[in-house]
Amino acid sequence: MTVLQRSDWYDVARDTNWTPTFVSEDELFPPQMSDPFNMPKEAWAEYDEPYKVSYAEYVKVQRDKDAGVYAVNTAAARTRFMEEAGQRWHSILKLHFGAVSLAESISQIAEGRMARFGKAPGMRNMATFGLLDEIRHGQSQLYFAHESLKHSPQFNWARKLLGTNEWGAIMTRATLDDVFLGRDAVTTAIMLTFAFETGFTNMQFIGLAADAAEAGDTSFSNLISSIQTDESRHAQIGAPLLKLMVKNGYKAEAQKAVDIGFWRTYRFFALLTGTVIDYFMPLEKRTSSFKEFMQEWIVEQFERTLLDLGLDLPWYWDYFLEDIDSFHHGMHLGWWLYRDTVWFNVPAGVSAPEREWLEAKYPGWGQSWGKIWDQIADNILAGKTDLTVPKTLPVVCSFNNLPIIHTPTKPWDPKGQMLTYKGKKYYFQSHVEKWVFEQDPDRYAAHQTLIDQFLAGLIQPPDYEGALNFMSLSPIERGKDADNYAWAFQDQGPGQIAAE
Ligand code: MN
Ligand code: MN
């Protein structure tokens, strides 16, 4: 018997739309879950997914991918890579697994929403495979993190983080709830698959994989590259949708969803990837700076994709291009200063050669951020490490719970960064966060930042130690300086490492 080629039967077999007779179209696809823009059926009929795969093909490829990932891991376990990798590399893994494992797992809900409520059969097909992908991503990363538990209890935060009130967890939930979980199928496809996955996951999963390979962690490098091959497939759900929205007169709606999704996603990755690539990564293993990765993946590739689809650059693009020079430097300073509020040990990443690298990649870094690190190093050298830990909570963005920062050498005018809504004052990281808030204030108004919860009396006792307990950080889980302050002593001759 001759077997048909997939291309001979796919279009017919996947066309599972019919006219419902037992219920109305709107009952089958409630607009608030499916398509709040109410695009006509003829528009939806044009949806054409660029990546076509049958279930049998999918299963075979995925089985091979998984076999490869676990085989490499087994082989790597026989080397002593993890034992010899050092704290900085362990910190990168702990941060990645904490922020990513369960985030991938819960994106099953987003894929499931598109698989059920997408109005085009091709969209539902791709999202079904996307859902299966995200099961694999959650499971494999939790497995890898669990295997590393023997090295440190902090690896348990791969599973623990998103269920806590740790501030990074509050930030992550606020972002994912908005971009992945709290949207209809159309907006999810734009914000999650187009903005988050097409725009940014490349950087975490290809940029970081390149650095991991360079650092000798073949197992982790292979794991996240394998994940990215799935992401680059299911990320293609959004683009054909954007194309048909533009063509059928819904450009403004599409553009707004891109602008919101992109900005929220950018903040998440600046914190997660920006700090890791520019500070955590051992200097000799770095392949590019965060800014260079952003220029390659976002400015060159994502920008072109947007214009090709008939969309515009987000209205804040000039501000965004300036922001990639500064925001993540402030966030890194935050990781380090508030190191006991995170689940990994934070490398300062500012030894003399690292400062030179930072100055070369970000001209002016020394004058702005370097000066703050000078003061910190002086305090360490004087034995006053207690002065390097702020014992009070920072002012955070009402919207994403990140400390509000600005470049120290630039004048700061926060006028455009606050508003009052229904009697409550809101403070924002920038005018872009404020704009997003204004697009749908009731969606965001009730968000409780860590500071809101503190002021509401939920943190007891109402002090720094109370806050650490509120964040579920036991003393052995709290982060420390990853190099035990050795970096501050580097010019003082060998062997002088400060006691903790
Ligand atoms: Mn994934
Ligand atoms: Mn995904």
- What is 26-54 written as a DSSP string? HHHS-TTTS-TT---HHHHHT---S----
Q: Which residues of 404-435 are buried (b: 16+ CB within 10 A; e: fewer)?
A: bbbbbeeeeeeeebeeeeeeeebbbbbebbbb
Distance 32 CA to ligand 1 centre (A): 25
Q: Quickly count: other Cβ atoms within 10 Å of residue 48's Cβ.
A: 13
Q: What is the predicted pLDDT for the residue at 413? A: 82
Asked if residue 496 has pLDDT above 70, the reply is no
* Cα 214 from Cα 132, distance rounded (Å): 30
Q: For 411-443, write each residue's pLDDT tens digit.
A: 888 888 999 999 999 999 999 999 999 999 999
pLDDT tens profile 161-203: 999 999 999 999 999 999 999 999 999 999 999 999 998 887 7
Section 75-86 average pLDDT? 88
Hey, what's the torsion of the CAs at 383, 276, 100, 392, to 10 degrees? Answer: 30
Identify the three-state secondary structure at position 346: strand
CATH superfamily assigned to domain 32-325: Ribonucleotide Reductase, subunit A (1.10.620.20)
The Cα–Cα gap between 40 and 479 comes to: 53
From the CA of 348, how far away is ligand 2's center (Å)? 31
The region of weakest confidence among 41-55, 166-180, 438-452 is 41-55
C-alpha 209 – ligand 1 centre gap (Å): 15
Crossing angle of helices 251-269 and 167-176, rounded to 10°: 160
The 10s digit of each residue's pLDDT in 355-404 is: 999 999 999 999 999 999 999 999 999 999 999 998 888 999 999 999 99
Q: Please report, for the chain, the start and end positions of each structural domain, with discontinuous segments joined by +.
A: 32-325
- The pLDDT value given to residue 433: 97
- 476: CA distance to ligand 2 center in Å? 33
CA dihedral 437, 443, 449, 454 (to 10 degrees): 120
Give which of 398, 388, 269 is closest to 324, Cα–Cα: 269
Q: How far is the CA of 117 from the centre of ligand 2 (A)?
A: 18
CA 134 / ligand 1 centre spacing (Å): 5
CB-facing half-sphere around the CA of 244: CA atoms within 13 A: 22
Helical segments of 177-276, H only? 185-188, 202, 208-215, 218-234, 238-247, 251-269, 275
Centre of ligand 1 to C-alpha 227, Å, is 6
List the structure tokens of 67: 């076999």
> Is residue 328's pLDDT more than 60?
yes
Tokens coding 474? 């036991």
Report how far apart, in Å, the C-alpha atoms of 444 and of each of 109, 255, 265, 334 are.
20, 20, 16, 24
Say how far apart CA 133 and CA 145 lie, in whole Å: 18
Q: What angle do CA 112, 113, 115 make, to 5 degrees?
A: 60
pLDDT at 29 over 60: yes
Contact 220, 211 (CB under 8 A): no
